[in-house]
Amino acid sequence: MTAWERADLQGARRVVVKVGSSSISGENAGKIQPIVEALAAAHARGVEVVLVSSGAIATGMPFLALAERPNDLATQQAAAAVGQNVLIYRYQDALRPFRIVAGQVLLTAGDLENRTPRTNARRAMERLLGLRILPIVNENDTVATHEIRFGDNDRLAALVAQLIGADALVLLSDIESLYTRPPGEPGALPIERIAYGDDLGGFEFGSVVVNSVGTGGAATKVSAARVAAAAGVGVLVTSSDLVGEAMMGAPIGTWFDPNPEPTASLLTGPVRTAG
C-alpha cells in the first residue's frame, strides 16, 4: 500500500481534526465559523470527519466571571460543565446551514485504557459516522482528575485517530507549521516534512505552554503526531486559519509521514504513549 501523502487529504475516507482552546474561545470565538465551513466542505465530499475540540473550560470562564484559567480542579470542572454546553451549541449553530448534526463524545483517559469503554466509544463513533453525524470529541473535564487526564487534546486526538482507524490527523495550531526552534528565535526554519523514524534530536521544540485559556505547545504536537504516525496515520500540523487549505491537501504546514508498516493499533491493549 502506498504511504499517505499530504495531498491525499482531499480524498481521505476518514480524518480527525483537532482544534485548541485559543483558536475558538474568547476573542477568537468567531473562528468557529470558518473551521466549520472547512469541515462541512469535506463532509460534502464524503469524508468522514471527527472533530476533537478543546475549549470547554475557556468557554465557560466568562460565565463564571473568571479572568484566568482556574488552578483548582473543582473550579475547572465547574467551568467545563458550563462551557461544554455553550461550545457544542456554538458548533451546532454554525453547522445548521449545512444540515449537519453534531454528536457530543466526552472521554477520559480511563475510557481508552480499558477494553469495555474503549470498545463502546469506538462503536458509538462508528455508528455516528455511519449516520453522517459529525462527532465532536473532548476530554470529559467534569469528571476527569489530574491523575487520569490525557494531559492535552493533541494526545487525545492521536488516540482517537488510532481508535477509529483514521487516514489522517490534522492538528490545528496558532502557527502555520513547526519550526526547527521556537519561531521567534534567530535561525528558526519551518519544517515541511518529517519522515517516519526521523531523529528529531536536533530540533528545539517549545516546551508545554500554559496560557490563560488552555494547554499545549509544539512539543505536545510532535509527541502526539509521532504516536499517530506510528499507527499508520498521516499527520499535518498547521494553523487553524488554514484549515480549509489543509483539508484540501494544500502544500502547507508540517507533514508527518505515517509508518509504512504499522503493527496492530496501540489501542488493542492498554494505552501506552511515549513522552
Output the known binding site for ATP.
Answer: 18, 173-174
Of how many residues is the chain composed? 275
Q: Which helix (H) or strand (E) holds 104?
A: strand 102-107
Burial class (CB in 10 A: 0-12, 13-18, 19+), 117: middle
What residues contact residue 270 under an 8 Å CB cut-off, 6+ apart?
113, 114
Q: Are residues 112 and 139 in contact, defined by beta-carbon separation less than 8 angstroms?
A: no
**Strand 234-239 vs strand 254-256: parallel, antiparallel, or unpaired?**
antiparallel
Q: State the binding site.
A: 18, 54, 141, 153, 173-174
Q: State the binding site for substrate.
A: 54, 141, 153
Measured over the CA atoms of residue 45, residue 243, residue 134 and residue 13, the dihedral's sign is positive
C-alpha cell of residue 40: 462541512
Q: How far apart are CA 220 and CA 154, in angstroms?
A: 7
Q: How far apart are CA 85 and CA 158, in angstroms?
A: 24
Identify the three-state secondary structure at position 227: helix
What residues contact residue 97 under an 8 Å CB cut-off, 6+ apart?
none
Cβ-based neighbour number of residue 48 at 10 Å: 23
Strands across the sheet containing 102-107: 102-107, 134-139, 48-53, 14-19, 168-173, 234-239, 254-256, 193-194
Task: Compute CA 9 distance to the chain's CA centroid, rounded to the nearest angstrom.
Answer: 16
